Amino acid sequence: MPGPRRGTADGPCPIGRTADILGDRWALLIMRNATVGMTRFDEFKAELDIADNVLSGRLRQLVESGLLTRIPYRPEGGGRTRDEYRLTQAGEDLLPLLHAMMVWGNAHSESASPTRPMRLVHSTCGESFEPGRRCPRCRRRVPRSETAWIRPWRSDLAQVLGAAAAP
């Protein structure tokens, strides 16, 4: 933002410090998509409809903030090696925050084309759960690999975490 931004990046309040990193629409949307399995520059660009200079800048900030890391990969169709952006532990730990955003959004905002609400479910049993709590059906802790976002407005089935797909 204009003017010498007087940030609170190292202030005493943890909410203020978090707001300094995530108090940005694009940062939140990128981390949302990364959390559902998205990793590549052109995927983010196409899905978010974001200008590539802005995307490039945000990804760099998120890497600097320690939420993402760059890892080389070789595209399946051939081509030069490129980097993909994967969640760090700090990035994975955003799950409760994104879940809270989902719950609030389900309750207090409305879609132009209503569907059944988005849910976070335990992929091995299909039951809704809350991050940090045990699955109410299995009574087990839900590892990240068994986490799925149900997005009823999407017709495809690429909703399980790990299948790169966009909300």
Q: Which residues are near its own copies by CB under 8 A?
A: 6, 8-29, 32, 49, 66, 90, 93-94, 96-113, 115, 117-118, 130, 132, 151, 153, 167
Site for DNA in 75-94 (CB under 7 A): 75, 78-83
Per-residue exposure over 32-51, b if at least 16 CB sit within 10 Å of its own CB, e if not: bbbbbbbbeeebbeebbebe
Contact between 59 and DNA by CB under 7 A: the answer reads yes
Q: Kindly state the smallest distance separating residue 145's Cβ from its own copies, in Å.
A: 21
What DSSP state is assigned to residue 95?
H
Site string for DNA, 16-55 (x = CB under 7 A): --------x-x-------------xxx--x----xxxxx-
The piece of 3-11, 108-116, 119-127, 153-161 that touches DNA (CB under 7 A) is 3-11
CA nearest to 58, candidates 41, 76, 79, 35: 41
The rounded distance, in Å, linking the Cα atoms of 122 and 94 is 17
- Contacted entry of its own copies, DNA, none for residue 56, CB cut-off 5 to 8 Å set by kind: DNA
Residue 94 burial (10 A CB sphere; 0-12, 13-18, 19+): buried
Contact between 3 and DNA by CB under 7 A: the answer reads yes
